[in-house]
Structure 1
Amino acid sequence: MHRPPPALPQRSARVLRARLLPCLLAACTVVAGLGGLSPASGADPLGPGERDPDIGPRTAPVHPGYATPEKARASVKAAHEHRHGGGGRTAPTTAGGGAGGDTRTATTTLAAADTTSATTLDPAVFGRWETLSYDLPLRAVHATALKNGKVLLIAGSGNVAEDNVIGRFLAYVLDPDTGKLTSVPVPYDAFCSFHVVDANGDVLVFGGTTRYKTSSSPWVGSNKVYKFVVDTQTWVAMPSMGDGRWYPTAVSDGSGKVYVYSGYTATGAVTTSPEMFDPATGSWTRIAGRDLPLYPGLHTAADGRLFYSGAHYGSKLNTALPKLFHPITGAKVSVTGSTMDLTRRNHAMSALVGSADQQLVWVAGGGFPALGTSYFVDLDDAAPAEIRGPALPAPKAYVSMAHLPDLTTVETGGGTGTASPVYETSILEPTTRTLSPMAPHTVPRTYHSSSLTTRDGRVLTFGGDPGGSGQFVMKVEVFSPPYLFRGERPTITDVPTELAYGGTYTVSATQSDAPLQFASLLRPGSATHSTDSDQRTLRLSTRTVPGGVEVTLPTNRNLAVPGWYYLSVVDDKGRPSVSRMVRLSAAATPPPPPPPPPPPPPPDTTPPTVTSRTPGEAGTGVAPAANVTATFSESVRGVGDSTFTLRAGDSAVPATVSYASGTATLDPASDLAPSTTYTAALTGGITDDAGNPLSPLEWSFTTAAAVTTRTITIPAEADTTVRQASPTTSYGSATSLLSDRQELSTSGSAAHGFLRFAVTDLQPGETVTGATLVLRTLPDDGGTSDGPAVWRTADTSTPSGTESMTWQSGRPARSGASAVANFGAVGADVSVSTAIKGITGNGPVTLELAPDSTNGMRMRSREHVTADQRPQLVLTVRSG
């Protein structure tokens, strides 16, 4: 990032210009360092830039499974199949977009032109990446999500020493929905500064670059502070810091104050003298000294202390242990059990993950060489200790993290060197502390890259500085998490904009196909150099109410520092709504208190009654398996096996008694005897909640007679096949039946089978409860994936008439509008059966086997020599 590119000799410059002009006309790309030109191939546009050797190697080995986007997609799919035994659903990715033009406005919202790849990943499982259709006009080193849904991108001099000298300090406001970019130049060089968002939603920028490093002088940090006022898109100078700071970190607390640590001063040393800024008064105060490396990963804990995570940039003071410390008194508690090599957490990233009240910090990646490990620290522990976290799929530094409204975290980007990108993205589930691999990004993101979450729950990624002239990545890529592909999301229809700490508010919201589960706050990101100190999410105390949810805000301001947040509702399928912007403020007026409770009701003196009983009084034909129930006029107490009884004559019936929702249930230990009279009784001891007793009650009922079942097997009394190809031929004496839509290789060769059964053995009082047609397929039939449908036909024929019918004559008409059964897939030489509907009594039953497809089915007929392979109709009948 840091040394200006050497000037080209005059002849070399002329040669390059002579070669570059025709390439520009032919849409070519200069291949830096190769001394040649190559045709444009859809690679990301690269702007100018240079690197400093202290930021890590330019190139280093990359895990082969994540060296390219396509290899990464294959690795993600293979890992998923190994873990789950299948690849999940896969689906093609669609893309589209419009040109930015001079107005720098994309023609579609978050439009993309995604490159087709051989490995497809289901976006409902792995999410989806899209590359926006426009290029950025600056090197996006710093990125902040604003309260109006837009993004402030700052380059300053953007790693170009010449721009620092001539005062070209770029910044733009990006509208991600339209692609519109508005220039808002910074009044000073904010390159390598740090930034937080204040309670009003404006951006405070601390430090930056006074002078670039040269062979004879170190980096010189700026002591300037500016505020970007979002509503007017203007810069306002704030009181300067006592020290210049290049590569500092700032972090906010619950009072709105900002603590600024580390950074190169004017002497090129890392300052160990932090300062505190009070935005309310514009004043600076020196606070307790602290030896921390450049861009230290800092986060505000629930008790107001600050936590240094171990993530940092560069080699200065890089052995400082992770610790909790008081910013004013300096009292500290170091993290125990630290086994990581802290010098290799260079370019790692840390974040307070999950709900902020859980106080869980996650640190991932780093270098050098690049690390694939991560760890957690629970700040709620009296003695915070390192807890091993999930391994990253591939080692990498330059990690970016962005929180999602469902309380998970996306980690993305990174590389083993500035020009060795790793194409790996995962989502952390903090409650289980597990990582789920996602679809890989396709735009390289290493040094000077960052990510931010949008109001609709997607993640924007910016930047990437592999080093060398002409290499900065100008493309914006968007990650849509899996929850965006899992059906309709809930919708917030109304919510107050100003929220007070400790206040309770109603969020009006509609659900889709799942109930609302909780509401969350997400602090929009303000990221640079793998550092975002104030980013956090918080699960709100949530209660479902008609038309939405009721949420209660925390009273502890350190859990959610004052300012603007994304507020979302999440349903029980994990799908968040598009968020609403709300401001959490101590000055906000809390909602009015609820109305006083109504006066207590008058004393209850009305005794309970029984409003319904089953079986009813003098009921008959009661099923022996029935339970006995009594429903009361109000809630009662005292229901049990001593107050709710059943007897047959003088014999008590063993039973279990239960009570729920105003109904008592007596469940006999075994079925009641048939044709027997029983008496149920509710006796003394049952009262309502006020103590009013139930009057004793008895009633009797009689059970039904015993039920018996039997099976009747009926052989076919006639069967035949009619063939369209032989319309006048009778096949009543054949030993097989056939059903086929196209028996021969030509059309017009259908074959239908007919069967006739005589039902004669049903006795008075018997009911048919089931009927099954049983057939035997031929050994050489080969089976079928779709057997014939079974139709009832008119029973006007005789057995001999059935045997003698042909395609042209004697076929009975179908007697219903739909088939009574259907054979599915069947094999060869097997017994197949299907249930038949509509048989209720004695009489002839004629069935037609009509083909459903060109897959035919051949069966034994009644003339076959083996009796048990002939067609049968099996009836199940019940009496009683």
Structure 2
Amino acid sequence: MRFQPSRRTRRTAVGAAVVVVLAGMNGPALWGYAADQYHDYKINQPKYKAKNGHWDVVDVPREYRINTIHAALLHTGKVLLVAGSGNNAANFKAKSFRTVLWDPRTNAFENIPTPKDLFCAGHTQLADGKLLVAGGTQRYEKLEGDVTKAGGLMLVHNENPDKPMTFPAGTRFTGKESHKTFESKDAVLVPRAKKEGEGDQVKVTASTARVYVEALEKGHEYETGTTDNFRIEGLGGADAQNAYGIANKLSFDKKDFQGIRDSFEFDPVAERYVTVDPMAEARWYPTLTTLQDGKVLSVSGLDEIGQVVPGKNEIYDPATKKWSYLPKERFFPTYPALFLAGRNKVFYTGSNAGYGPADKGRVPGLWNVESNEFTEVPGISDPDVLETSMSVLLPPAQKQRYMVLGGGGVGEDRKSTARTRIVDLREEKPRFHDGPDLYAKVRYPSSVILPDDTVLTTNGSGDYRGRSNSNVLQAELYDPGSNSTRPVADPLVGRNYHSGALLLPDGRVMTFGSDSLFGDAANTKAATFQQQIDLYTPPYRFREGRPEIKETGPRTVRLGEQTTYRTSDPKDIARARLIRPGSFTHVTNIEQRSIALDMTKTADGVTLTVPQDPALVPPGWYMLTVVDGKGTPSEAVWVKVPVAEEPSS
């Protein structure tokens, strides 16, 4: 039988030859080629991998390649990849909305029917293992030069206390002074008016609803310059008196993205979206945070007319599938990093992904969702470049230490920072302090908690959306114990806006996405969305003697309960971690947390105790992993922590 050298053997042979030839080469082209060959040789050496890890490209068949904007690990071990329209206006116009389900174990892919444009939605893990997805895109932005029809906000009033009024998309509004006609782009429901008092003392307050309207024809002659009252075509009698529109200037100004109210639960077992009640507010770029009781907080986003939701926050109850407003308002910019940090307490790190005024809602602090009290946390460095920064609850979660990494200026500001900032919420008066600098000044870094209690941070760009070829191809590991970083293997491609990373059950990390504004250093060519998915294998995967949890069946373990697992070589097991699966979009992954478990060793395994605090261990599915004395983690098994029972009164 003829021996066929393996790919690794051939690569090593080529690398060895390159080493010999390098010294005799002349000319930049030959030198560059040889350097690339040597680099390829070096990063594939066992010693290099054992120290720095290794990157590989996932083989994605062409029919499953999408502009991945959102990614979430499900308790089935599969990853939900969501594009929606994928920041592609042509896809939006064609109603081509994409979701792909990927199984990292078998590298199998499946297209999932996508009911709405979930581009720029919010998502979070629910207690039963479903993924709540809420919000998305109703309309794409139009820059000032691209707006061809005058348009803007129409406030529709209803003075009838006895009946609500519904107006379909295409309803026409004609100004009483301007005599110009506009039509609504979406349906709008105006509630019945509010009626107070009796007899001669009755007071009726008109109800209002908002809808985006556009002129019927193109051209500047159709815009309006002042506030006007608008009659609604098709109405007669009392309805024509009770219902009317009021609009300020309807013009050719830039039109921002607009959100939707729609909400869905993705069922990982049935592998389909299930419609639930819509939010009260339309939201594009919202953050969803699972609370200690399994309910979900929905915050911020752009509404149905493209304005930041003005502090109207909502709670989703998975038991009823319905939303309700919080009684008091609190404003945040879009995609704020909001971590569950105590019972009814949420920590806002200051990280966010974009829209909102530069001087409002950007100061870090601890928010009591129940009382609406907000306690500012001072000391954060570079406070004017927190937009597009990454935030992480450092492992283990019991220490309540948070890190904010990198970031840039508001909007398209060119400023960025290499700063990391750390705060310990257990202190009597928490205050941020600087940690070690990142590998470069970056916006959009992706950080992932690893089961060995380190944090991998990778990629980002020095300027807005990778402008001027500013993508950074570097990665590092941060050790919270020593407060130090070290470089690891460089990523394969640049990743900036619309990129992210997730920990997989086998201990590897997937990276996805990137939506550069331009494709060249001169900023003259349009860029292409990065559809490549990569896998980073950390150094611990290259060690021999990896520990093993020998029972792989899923279990349900309540807060404060013990559970015993058989393992390989129990005497070598040093610690155990419960890791919540990630749900990543727009530099935001508030789901991920790694929780230390109390552990005692048995003759053939370990007995583990889940903490009792539901704010530390919010309900849902978790990856359980044990780690040996060398810091090598086992492959994870799945554990379900149900909603905590309320103590009887």
TM over 0.5: yes
Partner SS state of residue 473, structure 1: coil
Inter-CA distance 204–586: structure 2 relative to 1 (3 Å threshold): closer
Measure, in 2, the Cα distance between the counterparts of 1:92 and 1:198: 48
1:580-638: CA deviation from partner (whole Å, max 9, x where unpaired): 011111479xxxxxxxxxxxxxxxxxxxxxxxxxxxxxxxxxxxxxxxxxxxxxxxxxx
2:93 is paired with a residue whose SS is helix
1:612-761 to 2 correspondence within 5 Å? none
Aligned to 1:163: 91
1:356 is matched with: 397
In the other structure, the counterpart of 1:328 is 370
Which residue, out of 504, 513, 530, partners 1:454?
504
Q: Please report how far the alpha carbon of residue 124 of structure 1 lies from its aligned counterpart in structure 2 after TM superposition.
A: 1.5
Secondary structure, counterpart of 1:313 in structure 2? coil
Alignment check: 8 A CA contact 1:407 1:539 kept:
no
CA contact (8 A) 1:291 1:317 kept: no
Give the Cα separation in 2 of the matches to 1:203 and 1:385: 34
The CA distance in 2 between the partners of 1:304 and 1:570, in whole Å, is: 32
Structure 2 residue 240 is the aligned partner of structure 1 residue 223: no
Residue identity opposite 1:283 in structure 2: K
Q: How many Å separate the matches in 2 of 1:492 and 1:224?
A: 41
Per-residue CA deviation, residues 358-385 of structure 1 (Å, 9 max, x unaligned), is: 1111100111422100101111123221
Shift of 1:92: 9.1
Name the CA shift for 1:422/1:470 in 2 (closer, same or farther; >3 Å).
Answer: closer
Amino acid at match of 2:78: K
- The code of the aligned residue for 2:84 comes to G
- Structure 1 residue 177, shift from structure 2 partner: 2.1
Please state whether the residue corresponding to 1:164 is helix, strand or coil.
Answer: helix
Deviation (angstroms), 1:118: 7.9
State the alpha-carbon separation in 2 of the partners of residues 172 and 150 from structure 1: 10
**Distance in structure 1 (CA, Å) of the matches to 2:379 and 2:72:** 35
Shift of 1:273: 1.2
**Contact 1:315–1:346 (Cα < 8 Å) also in 2:** no
Work out which of the residue numbers 141, 156, 159 in structure 2 matches 1:213.
141
5 Å matches for 1:131-530?
Answer: 131-134=57-60, 136-215=64-143, 216=252, 217-271=255-309, 272-287=311-326, 288-314=328-354, 316-319=356-359, 320-338=362-380, 340-368=381-409, 369-417=415-463, 418-419=465-466, 420-467=470-517, 469=526, 471-494=528-551, 497-511=555-569, 515-530=572-587
- Pair 462,380 (structure 1): closer, same or farther in 2 beyond 3 Å: same
Q: In 1, are the aligned partners of 2:292 and 2:343 still within 8 Å (CA)? A: no
User: SS where residue 484 of structure 1 aligns?
Assistant: helix
Distance 2:453 2:358 in 1: 31
| 8 A Cα contact 1:333 1:383, kept in partner | no
Output the CA distance in 2 between the equivalents of 1:189 and 1:267.
16
Give, in angstroms, the shift of residue 470 of structure 1: 5.4
More helix by share: 2
Q: Which amino acid aligns with 2:594?
A: T
Q: Do the aligned partners of residues 484 and 119 (structure 1) sit closer, same or farther apart at CA in structure 2, a change above 3 Å counting?
A: closer
**Counterpart AA for 2:322:** S
Aligned to 1:847: none
What CA distance in whole angstroms lies between the structure 2 residues aligned with 1:462 and 1:503?
Answer: 37
SS across alignment from 2:557: strand
Amino acid at match of 1:526: S
TM-score, L = length of structure 2: 0.71
The one of 592, 598, 609 aligned to 1:552:
609
| 8 Å CA contact 1:462, 1:474 repeated in 2 | yes
CA distance in 1, matches of 2:331, 2:617: 27
Provide the aligned C-alpha RMSD in A. Answer: 2.2
Deviations 1:731-752 (A, max 9, x none): xxxxxxxxxxxxxxxxxxxxxx
**Structure 1 residues 586 and 296: CA distance shift in structure 2, 3 A:** closer
Structure with more relative contact order (C-alpha pairs < 8 Å, separation 6 or more): 2
1:327 Cα offset (Å): 1.1
CA offsets 1:646-692 (integer angstroms, 9 cap, x no match): xxxxxxxxxxxxxxxxxxxxxxxxxxxxxxxxxxxxxxxxxxxxxxx
Gaps of at least 5 residues in structure 2 are 1-30, 144-251, 410-414, 519-525
Deviation for aligned residue 1:432: 2.1
Q: What is the letter of the counterpart of residue 530 of structure 1?
A: V
Structure 1 position 137, deviation (Å): 1.6
Counterparts of residues 78-97 of structure 1 (less than 5 Å): none
Matches of 2:357 and 2:572 in 1, distance apart? 51
| C-alpha displacement of 1:292 | 1.0
Q: How does 1:33-44 map to 2 (within 5 A)?
A: none
Question: Which whole-Å deviations, capped at 9, do the CAs of 1:110-148 have from their partners, x for residues lacking one?
Answer: xxxxx5568967111111111223355210110000111
**Which whole-Å CA distance do the structure 1 matches of 2:259 and 2:41 have between them?**
45
**Which residue of structure 2 lines up, in the alignment, with residue 566 of structure 1?**
623
Cα deviation code 1:210-256 (max 9, x no counterpart): 00011342211111111111101111111111111111111111100
Matched residue SS, 1:204? strand
* Aligned amino acid, residue 273 of structure 1: K
Q: Is the 8 A contact 1:353 1:536 kept in 2?
A: yes
Max radius of gyration: which structure?
A: 1
Partner of 2:247: none
The letter of the residue matching 1:347 is: T
**Does the 8 Å CA contact 1:251/1:259 hold for their aligned counterparts?**
yes
- CA deviations 1:345-369 (Å, max 9, x no partner) are 1111101111111111110011142
Q: C-alpha distance in 2, partners of 1:118/1:149?
A: 29
**Is it true that 1:540 corresponds to 2:597 in the alignment?**
yes
* Preserved CA contact (<8 Å) 1:292 1:318: no
Letter in 1 for 2:330: R
How many pairs align? 478
Residues 247-278 of structure 1: CA distance to partner in whole angstroms, max 9, x if unpaired?
11111111001111111112222112111111
Kept in 1, the 8 Å contact 2:294–2:643? The answer is no
Q: Is the 8 A contact 2:113 2:272 kept in 1?
A: no
Runs of 4+ residues deviating >4 angstroms? 115-121
Gapped regions of structure 1 (runs ≥ 5): 1-69, 75-90, 94-114, 589-880
State how far apart, in whole Å, the 1-side matches of 2:527 and 2:495 are: 15
Structure 2 counterparts to residues 49-68 of structure 1, below 5 A: none
